[in-house]
């Protein structure tokens, strides 16, 4: 994926993992030393409002746009138009 773990002081990379039920999630390659996990795909970009990591929100496999991973921040970007 090429995205570094956003946890301060962690040197791991974000990798795709599967839950026991087969659902895709993203976690740090240094688990269990680092406990970062996200259901949304982390991007290698920081939020311009609060500097948290940005994530790609998806619903039923389709992009719903980009949003800040911090629950207290309301930053969002609309999904990019698909080109065919």
Tokens of 69: 């991973």
Residues 27-56: what's their mean pLDDT?
A: 90
Q: At residue 77, what are phi and psi to the nearest 5 degrees?
A: -125, 140
**Is 81 or 24 the better-scoring residue by pLDDT?**
24
Q: Is the pLDDT of residue 55 over 60?
A: yes
Q: Is the pLDDT of residue 83 over 50?
A: no
**Which CA distances in Å does 80 have to 57, 65, 75?**
12, 7, 16
pLDDT given at position 6: 84
Tokens of 23: 């659902």
CB atoms inside a 10 Å sphere around CB 6:
19
pTM for the complete prediction? Answer: 0.72
Percentage of residues in the chain with pLDDT exceeding 90? 31
pLDDT given at position 77: 86
């Amino acid at each position: 994926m090429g995205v570094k773990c956003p946890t301060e002081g962690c040197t791991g990379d974000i990798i795709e993992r599967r839950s026991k039920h087969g659902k895709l999630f993203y976690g740090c390659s240094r688990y269990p030393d680092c406990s970062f996990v996200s259901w949304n795909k982390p991007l290698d970009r920081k939020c311009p409002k609060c500097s948290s990591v940005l994530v790609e929100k998806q619903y039923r496999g389709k992009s719903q746009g980009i949003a800040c991973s911090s629950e207290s921040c309301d930053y969002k970007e609309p999904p990019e138009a698909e080109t065919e």
